[in-house]
Structure 1
Amino acid sequence: MYIVIQIFQTLFYLIYCYLEAVIRFFVPVKKKSFAGTIVLVTGAGHGIGKELAMKFSEVGARLILWDINKRQVEEVEQTIRKSRHKDDAAKSYVCDVSKVENIKATAAKMRREVGEVEVLVNNAGILHGGSLLEMSEEDIKRTFDVNILAYIWTCREFLPYMVRRNEGHIVNMASMSAQTGVAYLTEYSASKYAVRGFTEALKDEMRREGHTGINFTTVYPMFVATGMTKYTVGIGVEWLTPAQVAIAVVEGAQMNETSVFIPSWYRGLLKISSLWPSKFKENPNELMYKGINPQYKERND
């Protein structure tokens, strides 16, 4: 009898979710405001991180900028301050997010000077792009230190404040390679799959513990012209600009989207691909294949 009740409860909940999805399709959720909100962006000195900082600033947020490159991150800070005509519009810090001790020390200094983080944007990332057998152990380890362990350390650092208030937002940058692994992105793809799993698990953990006011967004961009990826393979591969990614991320966060695919049509393609035969998905022909050629060896020659 208990199983029958559970089945009916699940069916009713499924119907409710369908109705909610239909309503939201015709009546979109109102965008939430980030005006005055303290937003931390890691890897904010260049590329996507810089554009994310600029875009969050445009919607009124106060920016905390972390990057390992002092000159670049200070330039972004000055650009935001000048554009907003406010000295407190942005504050930059040099931080190596691959080191948990550096994260803790920078966070402590930041709290004294600015305040608590209300929105965390984990953007910092690295990519080597080469054969697994040719990469060094040090480079493989650093990929995981920056691309996933740093995300875990920052969440552990800033989540307690969000939990106390039952309010906040965490945006984690993954990659389309977290949906489909491809050659010469082995360690990168693994780290981004980890970002996907970590974010989904943490979101469920917060739900189970009753902290439903904390939102999570995972971002899945295709190839972005940041300089990290070279030699793409695939007919019709188009490079995204960091600005395009930033616009989609901020808009997704404003709508409390749990997943942001860039370009957006890739979400539909993934749903359609679930109907394809296994061989068609696992062994694509060259006309449909998208990936990269090795670039690690060139970097180390």
Structure 2
Amino acid sequence: MGPKIKELPAQLPKNFDRPDEPWYHHLTFDLIWKVFNYTLFHPWVCWIIVLCLRAHVTPYQNIEMKIAIAWAFLMTTRAVGGIISDKIAYGNPRDVDLSEEVIVITGGVEGLGNLIAEVYGMRNANVCVLDTKKVQEDEAEEKGVLYYECDVGDAKQVETVAAKIVEDLGAPTILINNAGIAHAKSILDSTPEEVEQTFRTNTLSHFNTLRTFVPYMLRESRGTIVTVSSVLGHLGAANLSAYAASKAANLALHSSLRAELFQHPNGTAIKTILVTPGQMSTKMFAGVKTPSNFLAPVVPTVDVASQVIKLIEKGEGGEIALPLYSRYIGILGLMPAGLQQLVRRWCGIDRAIEKAGLVQKNTASEKR
């Protein structure tokens, strides 16, 4: 008899837990774009079309053959250009062996961080989570994850926990800065304590973890740093001023981090990944409706997690922006101010939190 297989608790999703949705709810622009990228936009498929035309003895002078060849060359140039661009921006990929990596995830008890931690835990990777929320020892053992109670906004706590991680697992080589909170309040209703807490958790925590863990990566001459920001860092939104501002700061911090790593002798061996998702299916913005499920769908957390894990394990740097509009949101800033305002009114970004009933009022300000 071999060793007893470890049983993991699992609960299958129930259809009646989710509202019935029509089939077209799942038809989004992102899905169509993905299909095209595997078909008409894929160089291999494009050249297959050319070969099929030749198999039917289509002369090169025919218009359909000229169009097929021109399209195949265009898609090949696009693909090669993308590869060259990534090489220039992020360098060659590094070798990643999970058995030799130590993964640190901030804010990994819930949401995106929790999903990534559980995936690596199931794969017996060396993964630890830094969070203020407590996790029972039995639950942690079942998930295969080490949990350290830590306020990542406090530099001293991060340094103390870092020493424990090095002692327990070894030098950290993968850092996922995921911790985040949001107070759905207007600027006038926000208290100084809430604004400070938001920046401590969402932004200052990045400085604390980077100052603490990057030196280990530089000594190891390998590493991956993931910065989780938000599309609101580009857009801003009413009643989410502190959250949006903190996420915008993360965008600038990530760019500065890349620049400084590039200047360090061992910095090029450390890969950086920027994550700027739109609305994800997490508790933070539950109930908020997007203006268009076709153009701006709610992103399943598992889709973002799979993209992060994919880049980490390929040893590559890059940017992850889901859904598709968040990848090109910078174009909005190039539009005339009036057109920008019309777009904001159409998409309802500044009314979304209020319509969802998530706006918190400061009772003290109401009395005034």
Q: Name the counterpart of 2:275.
A: 219
Is this contact kept in 2: 1:41–1:122, CA < 8 A?
Answer: yes
Q: Trace 1:205-284 onto structure 2 (pairs within 5 A).
A: 205-210=260-265, 211-232=267-288, 234-237=290-293, 238-255=297-314, 256-267=316-327, 269-270=328-329, 272-273=331-332, 276-284=335-343
Task: State the SS of the aligned residue for 2:187.
Answer: coil
Q: Which amino acid counterpart does residue 123 of structure 1 have in structure 2?
A: N
Q: Name the counterpart of 1:126.
A: 181
Q: Give the % identical residues.
A: 25
Q: Name the counterpart of 1:86.
A: none
How far the C-alpha of 1:59 sits from its partner, in A, is 5.8
Root-mean-square deviation (CA), in Å? 3.0
CA distance in 1, matches of 2:288, 2:179: 22
Is this contact kept in 2: 1:135–1:296, CA < 8 A?
Answer: no
Unaligned runs of 5+ in 1: 1-17, 82-89
Q: Which amino acid counterpart does residue 42 of structure 1 have in structure 2?
A: T
CA distance in 2, matches of 1:59, 1:279: 51
- Aligned counterpart for 2:244 among listed residues 182, 189, 195: 189
Q: Is 252-261 or 40-49 further displaced after alignment? A: 252-261
- Which TM-score applies when normalising by structure 1? 0.80
CA distance in 2, matches of 1:264, 1:63: 30
Is this contact kept in 1: 2:150–2:158, CA < 8 A?
Answer: yes
Is this contact kept in 2: 1:103–1:153, CA < 8 A?
Answer: yes
How far the C-alpha of 1:152 sits from its partner, in A, is 0.5
Higher Rg of the two aligned structures:
2
Between structures 1 and 2, the one with greater strand share: 1
- Which TM-score applies when normalising by structure 2? 0.66
CA distance in 1, matches of 2:182, 2:268: 34
- Aligned counterpart for 2:197 among listed residues 142, 150, 161: 142
Q: Is 220-229 or 257-266 further displaced after alignment? A: 257-266
- Aligned counterpart for 2:155 among listed residues 90, 97, 100: 100
Is this contact kept in 2: 1:232–1:290, CA < 8 A?
Answer: no
The answer to whether structure 1 residue 55 and structure 2 residue 119 are counterparts is: yes
Per-residue Cα deviation, 1:225-281 (whole angstroms, up to 9, x for no partner): 2221245354225322322221122123345232110124531x3365465333212
Q: Name the counterpart of 1:38.
A: 102
Q: Which amino acid counterpart does residue 270 of structure 1 have in structure 2?
A: I
Is this contact kept in 2: 1:42–1:122, CA < 8 A?
Answer: yes
CA distance in 2, matches of 1:96, 1:178: 23
Per-residue Cα deviation, 1:265-301 (whole angstroms, up to 9, x for no partner): 531x336546533321244253333353243426989
Q: Name the counterpart of 1:158.
A: 213
Q: Is 229-238 or 156-165 further displaced after alignment? A: 229-238
Q: Name the counterpart of 1:6.
A: none
The answer to whether structure 1 residue 65 and structure 2 residue 120 are counterparts is: no
CA distance in 2, matches of 1:202, 1:116: 20
Task: State the SS of the aligned residue for 2:152.
Answer: coil
Count of aligned pairs: 273
Is this contact kept in 1: 2:126–2:169, CA < 8 A?
Answer: no
Q: Name the counterpart of 1:3.
A: none
Unaligned runs of 5+ in 2: 1-77
Q: Name the counterpart of 1:288.
A: 347
CA distance in 2, matches of 1:34, 1:54: 18
